[in-house]
Structures are given as C-alpha cells and as structure tokens.
C-alpha cells in the first residue's frame, strides 16, 4: 500500500519555452493528465516566459518535473537545482536521443550560403540558456572565426519566434532547432515548406532531458520515473485514450515518440561545449 508519507499536495510540471505559453500549455495537457493519474496528485503546467524562469523555479523547488534542453538542464544543476535526469526524448522506439540546431535564412537570400556569411548580419538567437538556439550556434560561429563583435545579436525568446523573425526579414539569419523548422511551424501554417533554407547544421546534440526533483519523497520519485519511461510514449497515449492516433499525438511540445533512460554523465559533452564558448557557469 502507498502510505504517501511526506508527499506534496500537488505537482507542477514545467518546460523551457520553445514556443508561446498557450501552445506549450496545450501541448503538455496529456502529459499533465498522465502524471496526475499515475501519482493521484493534482498536477498543473507552469508556463514560463523565458528559460531562466524555469531554471529559477526548479532551483527554488516550485516546479517538480521539467522538460529541459540539455544546456538549461546543465545550468539548472550548476545553479543548485536538486534534480536528476529520468530520460531523454526520442523520435521513435529504436532511435537514439539527439537533435540538431539549424542556421537558417530566407530561401530567397542568395548572399548567404553558409554560417561564414553570418558575419556582419543581424542574427536571431532563441535564449541565452538554449542549447540549439544559442550554445551550439555560438560554438559554430566561433569555429568559423566569428565572434559576437562581428554581428548584431537578437534574443528572439523562442524557437518559433527566431524562425519567424528570419522569415519576416526582421533578422537576416538565425538559429532554431530542427523540429521547429521542419515540422512545427509548417504544420501550423506559420511558414510554408521552402520559405527558409538551412545553411548550417550542428553536430548531433544530446537529447533533451526530463528532470525530476530528488528532494521529493523517494516513492513518489520512483512512480514519476516509471511513468515517464514506460507510459509517456505515443503507443501508450493512444491505447489509453489520451490521443486518437500516433501521427497527431503530442507527448510533449515536439514530435517526440517518448523517452529513454539517460544519466547525468550523458550531458558532459554539453558542459565541454559550454566551457569552450565561455558563455556561462557550466558546472
């Protein structure tokens, strides 16, 4: 029997904002319902306006379970969040975790053929704590001899906003993660396929982690871990009525299939890139 000793009266789920709060809240509604059902605790979604908001909330213990990007997870841990990774998002049951950062411009912009051409341009980044929208782009620019003195930097505030600013011409070039450019924005009709061209692609980035507060009761942490790894996936969501079909099913904000177990050491590569760019406190 579950005595629930020391359990909180509710749970709060958060995520770094890849897009606007309304979209994020909507996309997480099934995941919220799943956690609520499996733990028996009223569960809500905390929509932050920036990455720092989520990091600070988990450091303060106001958010229990967070879907981070790899870099924001590393930053949260470096800032004292008592958390551990449960698993990383995967695109199919057999896939390894991982995704890409894209350097983009309008397809009609013939002057820009590679990241080398970003010098002297107005560049859209996502957020200073974004892996694919900031950390890897900065590393990519530095690898091509381009420092922050060589371009005008804009923090767009979301992967959607960054890509849309490039499409609107507000930024000459920019960065966003692959799924946003390839799937999310075209699916919503906000850009047409072919509007943007990818002129730079990062190396594979470690998959994004779901991280849980470890100062919660151990039995509760275990239920949350099992739920994320065994039930937060497309087949389970369809079978249990959270979704009608796998194609349209959203576990989290992107098209991820589910999660696979990873540990903290999996993110050491991110810490190394962070140290190479000297962009923040990495450990």
pLDDT at residue number 21 = 85
Phi and psi at 110, nearest 5°, equal: -70, -20
pLDDT at residue number 1 = 44
Q: Is the pLDDT of residue 280 over 90?
A: no
Q: What digits encode the pLDDT tens for the residues 51-85?
A: 999 999 999 999 999 999 999 999 999 999 999 99
Dist CA 264 CA 146 (whole Å): 31
pLDDT at residue number 273 = 93
Q: How confident is the model at residue 254 (pLDDT cuts 50, 70, 90)?
A: confident
- What is the mean pLDDT of the segment spanning 9-24? 91
Among 68, 123, 77, 125, CA closest to 101? 125
Q: Is the pLDDT of residue 283 over 90?
A: no
CATH 3.40.50.300 fits 11-96+208-266+273-277, yes or no: no
Mean pLDDT, rounded, of the chain: 94
Among 69, 165, 186, CA closest to 123? 165
Domains of the chain, residue spans: 11-96+208-266+273-277, 101-201
Q: What digits encode the pLDDT tens for the residues 200-230?
A: 999 999 999 999 999 999 999 999 999 999 9
Q: Which long-range contacts (CB under 8 A, 24 or more apart) does 140-145 make?
A: 140/101, 140/103, 140/115, 140/200, 140/202, 141/115, 142/276, 142/277, 144/115, 144/116
The answer to whether domain 11-96+208-266+273-277 and domain 101-201 are alike in fold is: yes
How far is C-alpha 202 from the geometric centre of its chain's CA atoms?
16
Q: Is the pLDDT of residue 2 over 80?
A: no
Q: How confident is the model at residue 194 (pLDDT cuts 50, 70, 90)?
A: very high
pLDDT at residue number 3 = 67
- Contact between 38 and 223 (Cβ < 8 Å): yes
**pLDDT > 70 fraction of the chain, expressed in percent and rounded:** 98
pLDDT at residue number 282 = 78
Provide the CATH number for the domain formed by 101-201 in this structure. 3.40.190.10
Enumerate the β-bridge partners of residue 261. 87
pLDDT at residue number 216 = 97
Q: What angle do CA 75, 76, 80 make, to 5 degrees?
A: 115
Q: Is the pLDDT of residue 279 over 80?
A: no
């Amino acid at each position: 029997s579950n005595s629930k000793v020391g359990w909180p009266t509710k749970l709060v789920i958060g995520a770094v904002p890849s897009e606007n709060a309304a979209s994020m809240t909507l996309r997480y509604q099934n995941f919220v319902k799943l956690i609520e059902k499996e733990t028996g605790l009223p569960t809500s979604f905390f929509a932050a306006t920036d990455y720092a908001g989520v990091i600070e909330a988990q450091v303060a213990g106001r958010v229990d379970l967070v879907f981070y990007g790899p870099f924001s997870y590393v930053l949260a841990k470096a800032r004292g969040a008592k958390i551990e990774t449960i698993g990383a998002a995967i695109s199919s049951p057999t896939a390894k975790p991982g995704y890409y950062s894209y350097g983009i411009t309008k397809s009609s912009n013939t002057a820009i053929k590679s990241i080398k051409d970003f010098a002297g341009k107005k560049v859209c980044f996502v957020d200073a704590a974004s892996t694919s929208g900031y950390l890897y782009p900065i590393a990519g620019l530095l690898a091509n001899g381009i420092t922050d003195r060589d371009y005008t930097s804009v923090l767009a505030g979301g992967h959607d906003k960054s890509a849309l600013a490039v499409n609107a011409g507000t930024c000459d070039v920019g960065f966003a993660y692959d799924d946003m450019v390839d799937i999310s924005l075209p699916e919503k009709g906000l850009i047409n396929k072919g509007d943007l061209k990818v002129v730079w692609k990062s190396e594979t980035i470690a998959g994004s982690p779901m991280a849980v507060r470890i100062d919660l009761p151990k039995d509760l942490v275990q239920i949350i871990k099992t739920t994320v790894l065994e039930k937060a996936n497309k087949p389970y969501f369809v079978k249990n009525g959270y979704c009608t079909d796998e194609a349209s099913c959203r576990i989290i904000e992107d098209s991820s299939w589910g999660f696979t177990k990873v540990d903290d050491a999996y993110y050491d590569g991110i810490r190394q890139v962070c140290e190479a760019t000297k962009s923040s406190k990495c450990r």
